[in-house]
Structure 1
Amino acid sequence: MKHLKVLLLLTVVAFFYNCKTEKSTELAYAVESHNDANGISYETVGNDPTGLRLYTLDNGLKVYLSKNNDEPKIQTYIAVRAGSNYDPKESTGLAHYLEHMVFKGTSKIGTLDWEKEKQHLDQISILYEQHRAENNPAKKLELYKKIDEVSLEASKYSVANEYDKMTSSLGATGTNAHTWFEETVYKNKIPANELGKWLALEKERFGELVLRLFHTELEAVFEEFNRGQDNDGRKRYAAMLRGLFPNHPYGQQSTIGIAEHLKNPSLVDINNYFNKYYVPNNMAMVLVGDLDFDETINKVNETFGKLKKKEVIHPTLPKEEPITSPVINEVFGPTAESISIAFRSQGVNTEDQKLMTLADMILANGNAGLIDLNLNQKQIVQRAGCSPTFLNDYGYHSFSGSPKEGQSLDEVKDLLLAQIEKLKKGEFEDWMIDAVVNDLKLSQTQQYENSTALASMYYNAFIHHEDWANKVKFLDDLKKISKQELVDFANRFYKDNYVVTYKRQGEDKSIVKVANPGITPVHVNRDKSSQYMQDFNKIQSEPLQPKFVDYKKEIKASKLDNGIEVSYIENELNDLFDLNIIFDMGSDNDKKLGIAVGYMEYLGTDKYTAEEIKKEFYKLGIDYYVNSGAEKSYVGLNGLKENLPKGLELLEHVWSNAIPNQEAYDSYVDQIIKGRQNGKTQKGNILYGGLMNYGKYGENSRLRNIMQVNELKSINPQQLVDMVKDLKNYKQRIFYYGKDIDAALTALNTNHIVPSELKNYSEPMVYNEKETGGNVYFVDFDMVQSEMLFLAKGEPFKAENMAASTLFNTYFGGGLSSIVFQEIRESKSLAYSAWSSYSNASKKDDSNYVMAYIGTQANKMPQAVEAMMELMTNMPEAEEQFNAAKEATLKKLAAQRITKSNIFWNYERLQKLGIDNDNREEMYNTIKDMTMEDLRNFFNTNIKGENYNVMVIGNKNDIDFNSLNKLGKVQEMDVDYLFNYEKPEDIKL
């Protein structure tokens, strides 16, 4: 939770504050202007640890460049300062539509005959305007059928997913985009040697908009809309925004849009939006990775520098009046109850931003904040937290909480408000501000070494008009805030000026059901390509050679005085460390172990209370953890290297001297019970947890092998504490990632005292995978979409199949240009999300699985199932697409680098598979020689004819059970049975 929150603070949140600073600070962060070898000017900031070069091209395009040589890749973002805030009131959702359509190509990309295709596309645009203006339902339907008819004709001249095929052919990963209030951002991570081809492709894409294959993509957006209706968290968030912003688009225009506008789009409006805002002086390019500054900016200038500048006038948006009394909202849905409280603030580049960021961390930092210690640590609520968001016009500080069993939402609200009152009274220790700033600095250091995280910080700076110098010195500015200044701010800011949103369990009567329009499948022409793509594929980039890891060389070894083996890898980047004590046993060996480990979170010792332990670690800038999985358990520390000895000393003290507390244990059990009840209201948990495990194992699964409530209640807490203390007496090994291994060994020898003879592990429980086929397991759930998971048990793991399965997944089932995505979404518009994969086992003696997924409207399910089963029986063969998939797979492997601590953890994963070397080299060489025939043979041997168990979750009233009966025997499953939970009425309190 802490790391996610700090990530939001340091990337999504814009760090800037206009204030007077001391002259020395101004000089330290001075902005300097330079000219590179090409005469192109750029700016840098003194003492900037990210090494940013910020260019502004003659056409106004901002270009953010930074080096990261960890891997031969470049994280790319193309950001546009325009999002749903600027949607016309009668066309909400337009910016998001547009984001989808920018992937559809241009008059060169994605067309077989532009002149003929354009005639049909122009006609489709006219028909949509007529459809929008028509009020007679029968005539609207007639017009839609005409749109469908002309769209089919137009698709004869189009090639689906050409952009995605070309980015995939580069070896790109993470190809995607997102739209929010003030931004639309396009994403790729590319091999560094493919920068020139990528720039040429993107320049073409952003130079022109063509709205081809529109009505099938519109259906995909509808499906995305439906997924939002099935997400209670999103509904609570939207209600919160409506309360905070009764006039501003932040609260009045959701990014996805309203159903009525989605049904009546205007292609004219979409083109106008693109022409108005998608111009270079309203855009930024962010490139972070293995690049040469001068060469890179020259290539950017030669491509994107040719885009024409236009005057951009951003609309003036409504202002909000102050909130003077609490605003109350309610939303309903099937998931567990929760509550949010939100205070509206000023936006980025204001005084509120810095003060509220600091206030937020004092309240909740994942360790020692007021909410952390007073509510979560003491188990007074089920869960609570807070997070700030800063946008261009306004911001908000949101608090959320979930109740314990028997606790009302209003009680949670009052407890959250009570923590704010403590802040207002200054009831926090003086050292907290320094500790919070150090915590932010620690997390920021971790982000700076991650190219994707750093690139995200850059594009956020652009979207929010931020001066990078002020972002660099932001943490120094935080240090200058006194406790009294923060208290004064809290008293000024947190009043009865909040919006409270109650998420209650119950029927949501605002749900919009969307009819199946009956789209005629369009042509995807996967065996054809545009002239642009043919020419693009002829361009040769300098080959990138793969690099493989010699694990035995990279992972060094030493021993403690007591004989325990220590594996280590040096951290060459910074002074952070990660220390892990590893036990090769877990809940499979004893299902009480996970319960015991979780209980330790709430215990003190003979020297410290549980709350004091959290504070002591936080002062040191150290995180500690004790966790237990199915097969392994870990005790660990990470943080500042200089504090490793003190952190380890404190950890060993807690480990050896924890004192059981019956009251804390009773609350812990109550929390487990409530967590189970809450978890079974989450559809994702039901599908991928309960149903999938039952589909694999039946009754005998890890998921169901749990301690029943009455067992939990009968345990003596001392027994759990003794179990954790006894961990130290078992066989163990250690992994250290950091600098100065000798200092780490000294700290371990001093503090980690264990017996000379260590105990062996007990035999683990064995869970046998059952044969699949002929079963349909269904759970009734109040939702708009239906979701299906197909699961077939394959043969046991074989290392020699990894090359073929990797190539198969690229070609057939994964990514935007795969066969499954093209057929089910692009051609037939039957689902927002559809995929298939051949999933290799994680252990050498386990089985591989064939899996497929469809998420769609219930009224499309029969067609979607038929389409998926046809694909899983008869794999379409397209030589050109196969060659592209092969090239993409090879380039991804060539650009992949396993570095830092990942070297150790990846080796751990391989050893579980019985592999003792970097098998990517063998995979790479095998894929180079593979043909379509090899892939066909793999499909026929491992995919075709498999027998599936089918897991389905959806609304019983909407499901077509006749279609499900064709797949096997339909069994409606009880959720409590899936998880082996007792019914609430059967639990003895």
Structure 2
Amino acid sequence: MKNIKLCVMLFVIALAYNCKTDNKSDLAYAVESKTDSNGFAFESVANDPTGLRLYTLDNGLKVYLSKNIDEPKIQTFIAVRAGSNYDPKESTGLAHYLEHMVFKGTDEIGTADWEKEKAYLDQISDLYEQHRAESDPEKKKELYKKIDEISLEASNHSIANEYDKMVASLGATGTNAYTWFEQTVYVNKIPANELEKWLKVESERFSQLVLRLFHTELEAVFEEFNRGQDNDYRKRYAAMLDGLFPNHPYGQQTTIGIGDHLKNPSMVDIHNYFDKYYVPNNMAMVLVGDIDFEKTIKEVNDAFGKFERKEVVHPTLPKEEPITSPVIKEVFGPTAENISIAFRTDASGTKEEKLVTMCDMLLANGTAGLIDLNLNQKQLVQNASCSPTFLKEYGYHTFTGTPKEGQTLDEVKLLLLGEIEKLKNGEFDEWMLDAVINDLKLSETQRYENNSALADMYVNAFIKHLDWKGRVEFLDDLRTITKQEIVDFANNFYKDNYVITYKRQGEDDSIVKVENPGITPVNLNREKSSAFLTNFNAIESKPLEPKFIDYKEAIKETKTDNGINVSYIKNEQNDLFNMNIIFDMGSDNDKKLGLAAGYMEYLGTDKYSAEELKKEFYKLGVNYYVSAGAETTYVGLSGIKENLPKGLELLEHLWNNAVPDKEAYDKYVESIAKGRKDNKTQKGSILWSGLMSYGKYGENSRLRNIFKVSELQAMDPAELVEIVKDMKNYEQRIFYYGKDVDAAVAALNTSHVVADELNKYPEAMAYLEKETGGNVYFVDFDMVQSEMLFLAKGDPFKAENMAASTLFNTYFGSGLSSIVFQEIRESKSLAYSAFSNYSNASKQDDSNYVMAYIGTQANKMPQAVDAMMDLMTNMPEAEEQFNAAKESTLKKLAAQRITKSDVFWNYERLKKLGIDNDNREEIYNTIKNMTMDDLRGFFNENIKGENYNVMVIGNKKDIDFNALSKLGKVQEMDIDYLFNYEQPEEIKM
């Protein structure tokens, strides 16, 4: 089956690159109805490169199956046509909250005594109905107090995280779920040998809803709501939708819900929603990976075929009137200003979807679109782009832009609308039609290689009631669209019928802040197990043996005529290639190298302008990049192998003949300065870059070793061009992933000409890691939540510690069934996100670090800090949970396959650690023999008693500095100082 799929895929790709715009593919995509040897009927599409078999069980459950044996894993999605569109108006956020509760178990999973627990849960449900109906704030508090008390009693009979324990014991990864407008989707990636056990637990999970541990999870969801309030992008997006859809739930019901609804839930409403929509004829199961079709569908039917079909009627949602004049929206927040312009479109599966897709790619494809060339390449804005979204009932085409320094949002708006006018005037080359479809084909091919991406495509088709045949032939349909059709459509579609949303800097007066409700920690009962879990653990799956790599065998070697070493791995799947010329030097060796590499993006040559070069590469279907990191610089090329010689010739032409452009350089410096200014408004960058770096290195850090803007302005751009050109004179090596390495080497021999004697690298600057402890570094930021990062410097890297640290992270700090997640979120409801890990160094001589993170309301911070520090000092020991973590870790390792180009890049990572073999074998064998005593020893030696630097970002008005001072000396940090930026008044443009 794999070989057939591969041949079809290659044929489709080859065809895509030879088709003319006015010709549709000769491939026939007929829907074929067949029956397998077990009597199960399925549909497939002829010449479908994904090899989909679509089954429909007797009860209506759709089952999407696709085979890929690259690794012994299966990407699983269980999708329900139930999202926030169908929330009751008085219970917005319900579908999303229900998603959280489906992880809590049933009357068999997660309970020690169901009858006793149920009695308490019924009381809690009644109290929530009273709480919802009560308008007196004091009486509501009393009712909540009663809910809290009874919830504690109920928790004596519940067992937290049994579902997570079971899927973790399978070796599952990526366990999660998401809710959107029309769907709720449950996600796991499992080892192929664990399918039957996974089906057993999932069929039980979806058989019944039990709302246990309800109020603690509700508080976690409210923390998720707070994270949304701190996300200016989400606020701009919600305002845009409100303008596009003044009547439809797309714009009127956010997935997270209204804060007041979250604080006043109805367990009755949630049960009713589950009973209405979580039925087999409204659901789909998607399994993509190492499967046997006929065995798999039989197992799925055995597990889910017993579910009863029910009539499902989704509500008829309001229709929208046409937008006849611009709708203006404004949102405020601390991040950099930007703008969006959105046009409402027809739904997915319509003719308009195809036309908008073509318009979008002609406007912005990342390389040669009108916006790419005329705005980004010419640096007329800080950045700009566009992208479409197609939903079940409508869609939208969104244009976004960020202004340069001194530029207004309205000026960005006019520039974006100007590029749309060029599209309407037909100011694009005819060849672009083929080029953008070929670009889409490349992206599609890459998605087909990825089980998760392909599974998501199937989910998308199911949720939107789309025939898979239409998806398979989608790109061929695009090939029938002419330039005149696009021009006519654009003139009819892009008018004054848009919503413009201004994201401005300023205080948001719509923020909802609430007090800490004072939840009593519930009991987790780690030592208990339900009968279901006991029986589940007794089921033995056929063992999956791990496979390890002989890197020296897997990575082949050859040389170019001029002696450059070429490492290569053959691409067995398709005709795509990736070539990297690697220099083991970076900005640590030459501070100007990163600056020079970025400048190359805006340069032309003596033959081509910068815009013409982009077009030439796009014609070939080849991408290039020059990227200088701290220690390594890459000159890369990727695309379809037939065009490698021409692509390399063009890249080498640019490399050898780039012409300095003072105007482009001045704009480049302006962009860097504006980027730094914008970076200071991003709380994630402040915490995970600025504060993290300062916590590790203090003043002498790579992050702070930058050129001042005034220094950049004084530089000669010709010097930067020469730096890039001179790179060729340094030692280098090449990695090639693709077919026909001989042809690739021949292209290198022809185009990549270097000196006979290559230069050694300049000495790299070293950065000294500081000892940690006794410091609290704080940044004041306008936000609802507060975020904290604890960082302790450990011992230098030791390969022999990798097994213990891997197991420790699974048991203690990461994942839904870890100690930290259970204690901080499940029991105490102190944060939406909390984790801890022992982080191994990326280089042999660097130190390992102990890290912990909490994101929570500022008024919960003291409790959250106490809880985390207690865990980091006194690791709870639960033998059963340890054994589950051990089994999970071993199964993940057994199912892990390092394939394709990842073989080379993983070996590169290991060599930096002084390891020249696949050390997963040693890790696997060590973990097999580890006991709780071993883990305790690792904890006591590497975690307990560590001295932490604490990094905090939050609103100064809400922070309890007395609590923070107990952790060390509190120092409020200036953001410009953290990043070593110039003060704004120092920058002169």
TM-score, normalization by structure 2: 0.97
Q: Aligned residue for 2:415?
A: 415
Give yes or no for contact 2:23–2:480 (8 Å, CA) kept in 1: no
Q: Supply the distance in 1 between the matched residues of 2:636 and 2:828 (Cα, whole angstroms).
A: 50
Give yes or no for contact 2:786–2:857 (8 Å, CA) kept in 1: yes
Query: Percent of pairs identical after alignment?
Result: 78
Deviations 1:198-224 (A, max 9, x none): 001000000100000000000000000
Deviations 1:930-959 (A, max 9, x none): 000000000000000000000000000000
Q: Aligned residue for 2:567?
A: 567
Q: Aligned residue for 2:631?
A: 631
Q: Aligned residue for 2:657?
A: 657
Deviations 1:182-205 (A, max 9, x none): 000000000000000000100000
Tell whether 2:312 aligns with 1:297: no
Deviations 1:854-890 (A, max 9, x none): 0000000000000000000000000000000000000
Alignment map for 1:386-405 (pairs within 5 Å)? 386-405=386-405
Q: Aligned residue for 2:17?
A: none
Q: Supply the distance in 2 between the matched residues of 1:798 and 1:281 (Cα, whole angstroms).
A: 54
Q: Aligned residue for 2:942?
A: 942
Residue type at the aligned position of 2:394: Y
Q: Supply the distance in 1 between the matched residues of 2:748 and 2:351 (Cα, whole angstroms).
A: 46
Residue type at the aligned position of 1:740: D
Q: Give the superposition deviation at 1:151.
A: 0.2
Deviations 1:723-764 (A, max 9, x none): 000000000000000000100010000000000000000000
Q: Supply the distance in 2 between the matched residues of 1:263 and 1:836 (Cα, whole angstroms).
A: 29
Q: Give the superposition deviation at 1:553.
A: 0.2
Q: Give the superposition deviation at 1:22.
A: 12
Alignment map for 1:712-791 (pairs within 5 Å)? 712-791=712-791
Alignment map for 1:532-681 (pairs within 5 Å)? 532-681=532-681
Residue type at the aligned position of 2:945: G
Residue type at the aligned position of 1:445: T
Q: Aligned residue for 2:498?
A: 498
Q: Aligned residue for 1:449?
A: 449
Q: Aligned residue for 1:16?
A: none
Give yes or no for contact 2:96–2:255 (8 Å, CA) kept in 1: yes
Q: Supply the distance in 1 between the matched residues of 2:514 and 2:647 (Cα, whole angstroms).
A: 57
Give yes or no for contact 2:75–2:455 (8 Å, CA) kept in 1: yes
Deviations 1:482-538 (A, max 9, x none): 000011110110000000000000000000001100000000111111111011000
Q: Aligned residue for 1:959?
A: 959
Tell whether 2:433 aligns with 1:433: yes
Deviations 1:646-671 (A, max 9, x none): 00000000000000000000000000
Q: Give the superposition deviation at 1:986.
A: 1.2
Q: Aligned residue for 1:905?
A: 905
Aligned to 1:396, the other structure's residue is in SS state strand
Residue type at the aligned position of 1:878: A
Aligned to 2:885, the other structure's residue is in SS state helix
Q: Supply the distance in 1 between the matched residues of 2:228 and 2:133 (Cα, whole angstroms).
A: 27
Q: Give the superposition deviation at 1:362.
A: 0.3
Residue type at the aligned position of 2:693: N
Q: Give the superposition deviation at 1:351.
A: 1.6
Residue type at the aligned position of 1:902: D
Q: Supply the distance in 2 between the matched residues of 1:524 and 1:796 (Cα, whole angstroms).
A: 36
Q: Aligned residue for 1:877?
A: 877
Q: Give the superposition deviation at 1:227.
A: 0.2
Q: Aligned residue for 1:924?
A: 924
Q: Give the superposition deviation at 1:466.
A: 0.5
Deviations 1:260-309 (A, max 9, x none): 10110000000000000000000000000000000000000001111110
Q: Aligned residue for 1:64?
A: 64
Q: Supply the distance in 2 between the matched residues of 1:943 and 1:68 (Cα, whole angstroms).
A: 41
- CA RMSD in angstroms comes to 1.0
Q: Supply the distance in 1 between the matched residues of 2:96 and 2:679 (Cα, whole angstroms).
A: 31
Give yes or no for contact 2:660–2:721 (8 Å, CA) kept in 1: yes
Q: Aligned residue for 1:479?
A: 479
Aligned to 2:34, the other structure's residue is in SS state strand
Aligned to 2:800, the other structure's residue is in SS state helix
Q: Supply the distance in 1 between the matched residues of 2:306 and 2:618 (Cα, whole angstroms).
A: 51
Q: Give the superposition deviation at 1:988.
A: 3.2
Q: Give the superposition deviation at 1:348.
A: 1.4
Deviations 1:619-666 (A, max 9, x none): 000000000000000001000000000000000000000000000000
Residue type at the aligned position of 1:342: A
Distance 1:682 1:192, change over 3 A: same
Q: Give the superposition deviation at 1:23.
A: 13
Aligned to 2:631, the other structure's residue is in SS state coil
Alignment map for 1:36-435 (pairs within 5 Å)? 36-435=36-435
Q: Supply the distance in 1 between the matched residues of 2:611 and 2:26 (Cα, whole angstroms).
A: 39
Give yes or no for contact 2:120–2:153 (8 Å, CA) kept in 1: yes
Residue type at the aligned position of 1:801: N
Residue type at the aligned position of 1:756: D
Q: Supply the distance in 2 between the matched residues of 1:749 and 1:590 (Cα, whole angstroms).
A: 28
Residue type at the aligned position of 2:294: D
Q: Aligned residue for 1:793?
A: 793
Q: Give the superposition deviation at 1:349.
A: 2.0
Q: Supply the distance in 2 between the matched residues of 1:179 and 1:858 (Cα, whole angstroms).
A: 27
Tell whether 2:699 aligns with 1:699: yes
Aligned to 1:176, the other structure's residue is in SS state strand
Residue type at the aligned position of 2:774: G
Aligned to 1:119, the other structure's residue is in SS state helix
Aligned to 1:922, the other structure's residue is in SS state helix
Give yes or no for contact 2:363–2:420 (8 Å, CA) kept in 1: yes
Q: Supply the distance in 2 between the matched residues of 1:37 and 1:201 (Cα, whole angstroms).
A: 27
Residue type at the aligned position of 2:210: V
Give yes or no for contact 2:564–2:734 (8 Å, CA) kept in 1: yes
Aligned to 2:206, the other structure's residue is in SS state helix
Deviations 1:349-403 (A, max 9, x none): 2221000011000000000000000000000000000000011111000000000
Distance 1:715 1:161, change over 3 A: same
Distance 1:24 1:381, change over 3 A: closer
Q: Supply the distance in 2 between the matched residues of 1:873 and 1:941 (Cα, whole angstroms).
A: 11
Q: Supply the distance in 2 between the matched residues of 1:826 and 1:353 (Cα, whole angstroms).
A: 43
Give yes or no for contact 2:22–2:480 (8 Å, CA) kept in 1: no
Q: Supply the distance in 2 between the matched residues of 1:24 and 1:446 (Cα, whole angstroms).
A: 22
Q: Aligned residue for 2:13?
A: none
Q: Give the superposition deviation at 1:616.
A: 0.4
Residue type at the aligned position of 1:346: D
Q: Supply the distance in 1 between the matched residues of 2:23 and 2:458 (Cα, whole angstroms).
A: 26
Pairs aligned (count): 969
Q: Aligned residue for 1:977?
A: 977
Aligned to 1:320, the other structure's residue is in SS state coil
Q: Supply the distance in 1 between the matched residues of 2:27 and 2:498 (Cα, whole angstroms).
A: 40
Residue type at the aligned position of 2:538: K
Q: Supply the distance in 2 between the matched residues of 1:300 and 1:155 (Cα, whole angstroms).
A: 33
Distance 1:23 1:502, change over 3 A: closer
Residue type at the aligned position of 1:148: D
Q: Supply the distance in 1 between the matched residues of 2:417 and 2:595 (Cα, whole angstroms).
A: 31
* Runs of 5+ consecutive residues of structure 1 not aligned to the other structure: 1-20
Q: Aligned residue for 1:8?
A: none
Q: Aligned residue for 2:18?
A: none
Aligned to 2:410, the other structure's residue is in SS state helix
Q: Aligned residue for 2:509?
A: 509
Aligned to 1:728, the other structure's residue is in SS state helix
Q: Give the superposition deviation at 1:604.
A: 0.3
Give yes or no for contact 2:24–2:480 (8 Å, CA) kept in 1: no
Residue type at the aligned position of 1:202: E
Q: Supply the distance in 2 between the matched residues of 1:580 and 1:306 (Cα, whole angstroms).
A: 53
